[in-house]
Amino acid sequence: MLDFIELKNNKAHAKIALNGGHIFHYERVGQEPLLYLSEISDFEDGKSIRGGIPICWPWFGKPEGKTLQHGFARTSKWTHVSTKEIDEDTTKVILKLNHSEETLKLFPYKFELALHVELGEHLKVELKTTNLDTKAFEITQALHTYFAVSHIDDVEISGLENKPYLDALTYKNEVQNGAITFSKEVDRVYQEVDKTIILKDKNRTLHVESIGSSSCVVWNPWIDKCSRMSAMKQDAYKEFVCIESANAFDDVRLILPNESHILKALIY
């Protein structure tokens, strides 16, 4: 079993693995978990957990010349910096990841990556990238959030109407018409995102606000792809949808030496 931090206060309960800086459980008191977690996920050092909030960094996807899908942060060992009880309803945790000999082979820059998680009635996740090098570098990234749903047939996502997106299945540029519903595989990277995204399920409504981001990924693997995925039941696609706060594709960020960029997601 991986080393993890367990947090509880009057409002919520969460678990964060040091492997990947990965929030793999979050629930409000008296409610069902907000995050989906595969019951057959790997919980081993060096392997990404299937579900929760994987951290895609310093690149999203698998750019040309890269061997790792979604970068190395999601499989690296993070360091616990602090846990602080703000009050009876609010707890804050800070984790960090720094460059090493291994990371410099994959991403030839010195950096500090800090994850701030605030647990309460809302879940606040902040990923701060600081350039410690003498050269500027570019990143793409995502907080790859898996939301638990009652059934994918009952899901509707709004807040992305009339936004342009790249359909990663057809490589065509499209514009969103109306709310998003699911009857097949969906893998889209939306741009010009400037509104709160609303996830409506049969039993609840969730909101996702992003700061430091103008792109968002919406993904569900549907039947065929889900059956081929590792650490995932064949019918798991019915139980989750991913809404990812991101800096992806056109939303690439340039970070100058000694400067920082913050990607933040607020879930409530």
Over residues 151-200, the pLDDT tens digits come to 999 999 999 999 999 999 999 999 999 999 999 999 999 999 999 999 99
DSSP 181-241: --SS-EEEEE-S--S-EEEE-SS-EEEEEEES-SEEEEEE-HHHHHHHSTT--TTGGGGEE
Per-residue HEC secondary structure of 146-164 comes to EEECCCHHHCEEECCCCCE
| CA 176 to each of CA 153, 155, 189, 214: distance values in angstroms, whole numbers, following the listed order | 19, 16, 11, 15
Q: Which helix (H) or strand (E) holds 264?
A: strand 260-267
Model pLDDT, residue 2: 84
In the structure, what pLDDT confidence band is assigned to residue 1 with cuts at 50, 70 and 90? Answer: low
The DSSP secondary-structure symbol of 61 reads S
Question: What type of residue sits at position 113?
Answer: L
Q: What is the pLDDT of residues 56-80, one digit of tens each?
A: 999 999 999 898 999 999 999 999 9
Q: Which among 146, 133, 180 is positioned nearest to 161, based on CA atoms? A: 180
Judge contact between 126 and 115, C-beta under 8 A: yes
Q: Count other C-beta atoms under 10 Å from residue 87's C-beta.
A: 9
Cis peptide, bond prior to residue 58, ω within 30 of zero: yes
pLDDT at 36 over 70: yes
Tokens of 213: 């981001």
Residue type, 6: E
Q: Which domains, and CATH codes, for the chain?
A: 4-267 (2.70.98.10)
In this predicted structure, the answer to whether residue 257 has a pLDDT above a threshold of 80 is yes
Determine the Cα angle at 185 with ends 266 and 35, to 5°.
Answer: 30
Query: Which residues, 6+ apart, have CB-to-CB distance to 100 below 8 Å?
Result: none
Q: Give the residue numbers marked as catalytic.
A: 144, 244
Whether the model clears a pTM of 0.85, i.e. scores above it, the answer is yes
What is the 8-class DSSP label of residue 249?
Answer: G
